[in-house]
Amino acid sequence: MIAFGPKDHAELRKFMAKVTSPEAERAAIARAVAWYEKRIAPEAGTAGAKARSTESGDPSQIDCVESSLNTTSALLMLQGLGLLRYHRVEPYVSRMLLDLVHFVHSTAVLTDLKTDQKWAVDSWVRNSGEPPDVRPLADWYRGD
């Protein structure tokens, strides 16, 4: 368990302060998720986590389910602080993959409140502390 306090909440507020559109909010969310990963990495031991890691048994690496849960936690914190104006957080989702190494892949999800479009917020495809891939969920499901 990693505790977040008022100082952390203030940092998250900075990322979201000047958001004036859904597009800007998604960009700010990506930066906030990257900050969140950097913030938890020293305590979690994941600063060196590599993109698309499948190294089971290595506690410094994060699989896509762990990544989805961490990202969803960050999104829920933003939502709980009242910092999301254009999106709401959804449960993470999974898709089947057709390669021999990965069988299932998961991602965090947002819904645009105005259009109802769902967005994947996929941090597993980036190294720890890098902004996640944010794209339409329909494209993510297709693997585009």
pLDDT of the residue at 57? 81
What is the secondary structure of 76-133 as a DSSP string? HHHHHTT--SSEEEEEEEEEE--SSS-SEEEEEEEEETTT--EEEEE-TTS-TTSPPE
What is the secondary structure of 1-55 as a DSSP string? -----HHHHHHHHHHHTT--SHHHHHHHHHHHHHHHHHHHHHHHT-TTPPTT---
Structural domain contains residue 16:
yes
Question: Helix (H, G, I), strand (E, B), or coil: what is residue 63?
Answer: coil
Question: Is the CB of residue 103 less than 8 Å from the CB of residue 65?
Answer: no
Structural domain contains residue 1:
no
Question: What is the value of pTM for the model shown?
Answer: 0.93
Structural domain contains residue 11:
yes
pLDDT of the residue at 100? 54
Q: What domain range is 38 assigned to? A: 6-142
Structural domain contains residue 49:
yes
Per-residue pLDDT in tens (0 to 9) along the chain, 144 residues: 899 999 999 999 999 999 999 999 999 999 999 999 999 999 999 999 999 887 778 889 998 889 999 999 999 999 999 999 999 999 999 998 766 555 788 999 999 999 999 999 999 999 999 999 999 999 999 886
pLDDT of the residue at 34? 98
pLDDT of the residue at 99? 60
Domain count within the chain: 1
- The structure tokens listed for 62 are 């994060």
